[in-house]
Amino acid sequence: MPIDDAISVCLLASGSRGNAIYITDGQSSILMDAGLSGVEIQRRMAARDLDPQQLDGIVVSHEHNDHIQAVGILARRFRLPVYISANTYAASQKQLGRIDAIERFNCGTPFLVGSLELHPFSISHDATDPAGFTVTANGTRVGIATDLGIATTMVKTHLQNCVALIIEANHDRTMLAEGPYPWPLKQRIQSRSGHLSNDDTSQLLQEILHDGLTHVILAHLSEQNNTPNKALQAVQQTLAGTGVNLSVAVQNSCSKVYTFKAKVR
């Protein structure tokens, strides 16, 4: 587990069939979303020697099933508080079921989960009140934005000055255009409230790239409309010569445990 002002992250799953990210600074630990079954989340945590009984809470980004499937189950099983916006809770309450400890947050207002400071910010996605986040501990900041149709000025502002970014690269535009999805679904994915393409992500990184950024993890890749190689190739051009490490998160297996620490300046 991390020491000396670091943050460790493990993407337990990333994609349209389920999303969950484990985050810890060695003192406090959270799940960002829980979009697999409870059993599968526990299995993947165990594969990385992560203990769900050490969690301090679950943070919910938005109400889509691939982000909340096991939120209520794990909250009850391990007596965890759930951090969620009021509008997202209203949209998901029936699916979440009974939760004894609800902690409501508002986009734009930071809040603490133990020693972790989370700053939620509004993103453009077809959900009730979707949020991206920065997570900060002792000067190390990680940015998370995995479901958004466009990168607004607000998104860019919040993702600046992060040591690591977990950011969506959902689809390759040609694969989506030529693929099997019906036209209305293709329109939704490409819309301002849909998902970022590989090229969109590359452009976003060009605009927020800075000397303190050490790692980018591409997330929420479509299994039908993208490949890890296509996503990597699109973004590698932007990061060439910067020394920034680049990884891809996938749907069917959890990532390694990454540890990030702000550069000494």
Provide, for the chain, the percentages of residues in helix, strand and coil under a 3-state DSSP scheme, each rounded to the nearest 5.
30, 25, 45
Residue 75, domain member (yes or no): yes
Residue 1, domain member (yes or no): no
Contacts for 208 with CB less than 8 Å, ≥ 6 apart:
156, 159, 160
Q: What's the pLDDT at 2?
A: 45
Residue 157, domain member (yes or no): yes
Contacts for 125 with CB less than 8 Å, ≥ 6 apart:
62, 147, 148, 149, 193, 194
DSSP string, 64-80: -HHHHTTHHHHHHHHT-
| Tokens read off for 61 | 């980004």
Residue 2, domain member (yes or no): no
Residue 10 forms beta bridges with which residues? 22
- Per-residue pLDDT in tens (0 to 9) along the chain, 265 residues: 445 679 999 999 999 999 999 999 999 999 999 999 999 999 999 999 999 999 999 999 999 999 999 999 999 999 999 999 999 999 999 999 999 999 999 999 999 999 999 999 999 999 999 999 999 998 999 999 999 999 999 999 999 999 999 999 999 999 999 999 999 999 999 998 999 999 999 999 999 999 999 999 999 999 999 999 999 999 999 999 999 999 999 999 999 999 999 876 5
Residue 34, domain member (yes or no): yes
Q: What's the pLDDT at 263?
A: 75
- Give the domain CATH number at 167: 3.60.15.10
Q: Hey, CA dihedral for 202, 152, 243, 28, is it positive or negative?
A: negative
Please report where in the chains the tokens 């734009």 appear, as a residue.
108
Structurally, how many domains does the chain consist of?
Answer: 1
Boundaries of domain holding 96:
7-252
Residue 200, domain member (yes or no): yes
pTM of the full structure: 0.96
